[in-house]
Amino acid sequence: MIRTTSLRFTYQNTKTNTFYFPDIDLSFEQNALILGPSGVGKTTLLHLMAGLLIPKKGNVFIGNTCVHQLTRNQLNNFRGKHIGIIFQRTYFIKSLTLLENLRIREKLSKKTTDPNRRRQLLEQLELTEVRNKKVHELSEGQRQRLSIALGVIHKPKVILADEPTSNLDDKNCEKVISLLKKEAQICKSNLVIITHDQRVKLHFNKHIIL
C-alpha cells in the first residue's frame, strides 16, 4: 500500500516552479502508471516516493510508515528493506559479477537472504547462465533484466520503475512489462511505473496523469 498526500517539491538553485503532485492512493497489490510529458516531474515524484528527495510539503505513506518523518538512517534502512527501484539507466557495481551485485543488494537490505528466491529469480529472468559474469560482459537485455532483479530481489513493498522500457523494442518491452508484473505479484507489492511509452498503457488500468 502506498499513499501520497499533497506532495509539493521545489528544486533549489533553479527557477522552475514548484511541482504540485496529485495524491496517489494504491491499495494492496495495486499497480499504477504515472504518465506525462517530459519535464513535468515524473522522476521527481518517483524519487519523492523512494525517499531520495525530501518534499517541501506533504508526505508519502508506505504500509503504515510515514516515509518523510523517518530520520536519515531510518530512511536508509527502510528504503533498503521495503523499496525497490529500477532506474531508467542501468547502474551496477562494475567490478563485481552479476551474482555478487545481487548479493550485495540482499545484504544491504538487512533481510534474511533466501538462496531459493535468488535461484528462482535468476531462472525467471533467464540470468542463471551468466550469473558469474562481470556486469560489463552482459548484453544490453541481460543488463536490463539484472536491473529488474536488483529492484525486486528483496521482496519490497513497493517497486518503482523509471522508464523501464524507453530503450527497448516492442518484443522486449512486452517481456519487461510482463516480468515486472509477475514479480510484483510474487513479491505482493505495489508496482509504480513512470513512463511516456504508449505501449505500456494497455497493460495497466490505473493511470495517473501529471
Contacts to another protein by CB under 8 A = 43-44, 47, 50, 52-53, 72-73, 76-77, 79-81, 83, 85, 87-89, 91-94, 104-105, 108-110, 162
Between 66 and 93, whose beta carbon lies closer to another protein? 93
Q: What angle do CA 44, 147, 105 make, to 5 degrees?
A: 95
Smallest gap from residue 150 Cβ to another protein (A): 8
Smallest gap from residue 205 Cβ to another protein (A): 27
DSSP state string for 90-137: ----TTSBHHHHHHHHHHHTTSPP-HHHHHHHHHHTT-STTTTSBGGG
Q: Smallest Cα–Cα separation from 144: which of 160, 163, 123, 159?
A: 163
Between 167 and 205, whose beta carbon lies closer to another protein? 167
- Identify whether the C-beta of residue 79 lies closer than 8 Å to the C-beta of residue 51: yes
Between 77 and 172, whose beta carbon lies closer to another protein? 77
Smallest gap from residue 94 Cβ to another protein (A): 7
What SS3 state is found at 64?
Answer: coil
Smallest gap from residue 87 Cβ to another protein (A): 6
User: Using CA atoms, how far apart are residues 165 and 15, in angstroms rounded to an integer?
Assistant: 30
Between 61 and 87, whose beta carbon lies closer to another protein? 87
